[in-house]
Amino acid sequence: MPDFRLAVAPMVDRTDRHFRFLVRQVSLRVRLYTEMTVDQAVLRGNRERLLAFRPEERPLALQLAGKDPETLAQAAQVAEAWGYDEVNLNLGCPSQKAQEGGYGACLLLDLPRVKEILRAMQEAVRVPVTVKMRLGLEGKETYPDLARAVEAMAEAGVSVFIVHARSALLALSTRANREVPPLRHEWVHRLKRDFPHLTFVTNGGIRSLEEALLHLRRVDGVMMGRAVYEDPFVLEEADQRVYGLPHRASRLEVARRMRAYLEEELLRGTPPWAVLRHMLHLFRGRPRGRLWRRLLSEGRTLGALDRALRLMEEEVGQEGEGEKPGPRGEPEAALGLTREGV
């Protein structure tokens, strides 16, 4: 069974291959997801642009959206052929566009179709087919409704459920839908108690690794989105504290690796801003962090990155002095977590 303990959420316009590569420098193991990709785009679009990734990004899942079992199954096959480790079905997007297209959260109203889709996708591929869903729709859901939905999908063979632990309110904007409906992580914890043989990953509003570790006492996994985008270094201790690996990079090391990456990408014709825009928050909350951000966003070139890097090197010292890890926060033991327990 793949490791679902920690994941970075699929985010349109955020989790493209460049941002994923950056996150991978911070954590060697965290599970990564692409942006939501419509099945028709996979089947008819520019696959190199939509699907290409570097092997370092793995473990990596492609998140698909769609409503038709056949085309979703075909798209899943393409994903598998491209080397993705998982195909995830979006059952949580509440946007107007998704509603018009009949995919995303509104599919939760049609569980027989969802089952048909999931069966078709699983027949088409060997990699795990997982779902990312909301608790329900319009705030009318009850825990028994949620449990029934999970049961139905489990009947169709799904065993991994990523749950954004709030309802989807279809009249609200997509953005408001990530803030307004109340979070109910306790429902996901309860799902794990009621269906211990299934894998549950909880998602929504989790801001720190400490919080993630607390959830991991009750569920199989935690998915974090905005907190990671806003400061990729929330994952700074993930490899040590979740996976028991010695790896831990400094911000400056990650920035230098991203410089080398940008240089390679430029040779492939990638515009510098496509990479640099994801690096803006790399020194968030650190001395000169705002200056770093300004230099990159105003310069938008490799040269601007070099200037910003020199500045940060001066700040922290050539050897990375001052970048040494600060206090480690609460040790695992104090949280009642052993590695096995995590």
Ligand X SMILES: Cc1cc2nc3c(=O)[nH]c(=O)nc-3n(C[C@H](O)[C@H](O)[C@H](O)COP(=O)(O)O)c2cc1C
| Residues in touch with ligand X (CB under 6 A) | 9-14, 35-36, 63, 90, 92-93, 132, 164, 178, 203-206, 224-227
Return all residues near 223 (Cβ < 8 A) that are at least 6 apart.
6, 7, 8, 9, 162, 201, 202, 203, 206
3 state SS of 146 = helix
Could you tell me which residues come within 8 angstroms of residue 74 by beta carbon, excluding any fewer than 6 positions away? 39, 43, 124
Which of 135/276 has CB closer to ligand X? 135
For residue 294, which amino acid is it? R
Q: What is the chain's alpha carbon radius of gyration, rounded to the nearest angstrom? A: 20
User: Whole-angstrom Cα distance, residue 261 to residue 87?
Assistant: 27
Tell me which of 93, 169, 213, 280 is the catalytic residue: 93
The question of whether 106 is a catalytic residue gets the answer no
In 178-282, alpha helices (H) = 185-194, 209-215, 226-230, 238-241, 251-267, 272-276
The least CB distance from residue 189 to ligand X, in Å, is 17
Residue 163 beta carbon to ligand X: minimum distance, rounded to whole angstroms = 9
Report, in this order, helix, strand and coil percent for the chain, each rounded to 5.
50, 10, 40
As measured in angstroms, the least distance from the Cβ of 97 to ligand X is 12
Taking the complex as a whole, the smallest distance from the CB of residue 110 to ligand X amounts, in Å, to 18
In the complex, minimum distance from the CB of residue 310 to ligand X, in angstroms, rounded to a whole number: 32
Nearer to ligand X, 216 or 316 (CB): 216
| Residue whose token pair is 């069974």 | 1
Query: Toward ligand X, which CB reaches closer, 135 or 312?
Result: 135
- At 104, the amino acid letter reads G
**Residue 32 half-sphere exposure toward CB, CA atoms < 13 A:** 31
| Contact between 68 and 39 (Cβ < 8 Å) | yes
Q: Indicate the residue among 219 and 224 with the shorter CB distance to ligand X.
A: 224
Q: Are 106 and 95 in contact (CB under 8 A)?
A: no
Of the two residues 63 and 167, which places its CB atom closer to ligand X in the complex? 63
Between residues 35 and 85, which has the closer beta carbon with respect to ligand X?
A: 35
CB of residue 88 to ligand X, shortest distance in Å: 8
What amino acid is encoded at 90 in this protein? N
Compute how many other C-beta atoms are within 10 angstroms of the C-beta atom of residue 65: 26
Distance CA 93, CA 97 (A): 9
Q: Return d(Cα 62, Cα 80) in angstroms, integer.
A: 9
Active-site residue set: 93
